[in-house]
Chains A and B, each alone.
Chain A
Amino acid sequence: AQTVTQSQPEMSVQEAETVTLSCTYDTSESNYYLFWYKQPPSRQMILVIRQEAYKQQNATENRFSVNFQKAAKSFSLKISDSQLGDTAMYFCAFTHSGGGADGLTFGKGTHLIIQP
């Protein structure tokens, strides 16, 4: 079974700073997908970024980028120029590549607070 570990329950940074959220996972498979989801106080789950394990290039989406280290089974999220609207819970998630039919395995989340 896959496990996803987020070791930082809460982080707080000043607006405009760069912050990195950590995620490690455990799997015996070689091909899979990794995600970061954002959950603001509204409770809505929003996809931030997606990484396919067979792609060596790290995914980026505007101010959000990942550092994917397949050998180390590490998938960290970097948020550059952080904004007040980035305040949210962030969840790292994993699914294997078999159509993903058995759903996502989530970490316990990191509560990120952006201070003005």
Chain B
Amino acid sequence: NAGVTQTPKFQVLKTGQSMTLQCAQDMNHEYMSWYRQDPGMGLRLIHYSVGAGITDQGEVPNGYNVSRSTTEDFPLRLLSAAPSQTSVYFCASSYGGMNTEAFFGQGTRLTVV
């Protein structure tokens, strides 16, 4: 049982480059979300999805895009990377909303230089 799989685990980008962080879950969860974790800040919600074809913005959505074409996958796109996007990114999924148990991926450490 793989749970929530994030790729890559580490990435270094140059300012202005774009990339996609991948997230896949095999638990048939409807709800998926992306968070970023910065030192001393806890985790903050970027985008979330309550099912295939439906996405919405969280607390810090600027500079990121998402799509949900399948139940399993929820990629996060950085359109033009900036040093302020240096962070650890977590994908999470849950059967219902986040009031049920959330399962997190192992995180992606992104550095933008």
Contact = CB atoms under 8 A, between A and B. Distances in A.
A99 B97 contact: yes
Nearest to B42: A106
A94 B97 CA distance: 12
A96 B98 CA distance: 9
Interface in B2-56: 31, 33, 35, 40-45, 48, 50, 56
The interface size bin for chain B is 20 to 34
B1 interface: no
Q: Which label, helix, strand, loop or mixed, suits the secondary structure of the A interface? A: loop
B42 A107 contact: yes
Contact of A100 (B88, B97, B107): B97
Contact of B101 (A47, A97, A99): A47
A47 B102 contact: yes
The interface size bin for chain A is 20 to 34
Contacts of A103: 33, 35, 45, 48, 58-59, 98
B43 A50 contact: no
The 4 closest A-B pairs by CB, nearest first: A100-B97, A100-B99, A106-B42, A45-B104
27 contacts: A33-B98, A42-B106, A44-B104, A46-B104, A50-B101, A93-B43, A95-B97, A95-B99, A96-B99, A98-B97, A99-B97, A99-B99, A100-B31, A100-B94, A100-B96, A101-B56, A101-B97, A102-B48, A102-B58, A103-B33, A103-B35, A103-B45, A103-B98, A104-B98, A104-B102, A106-B44, A108-B40
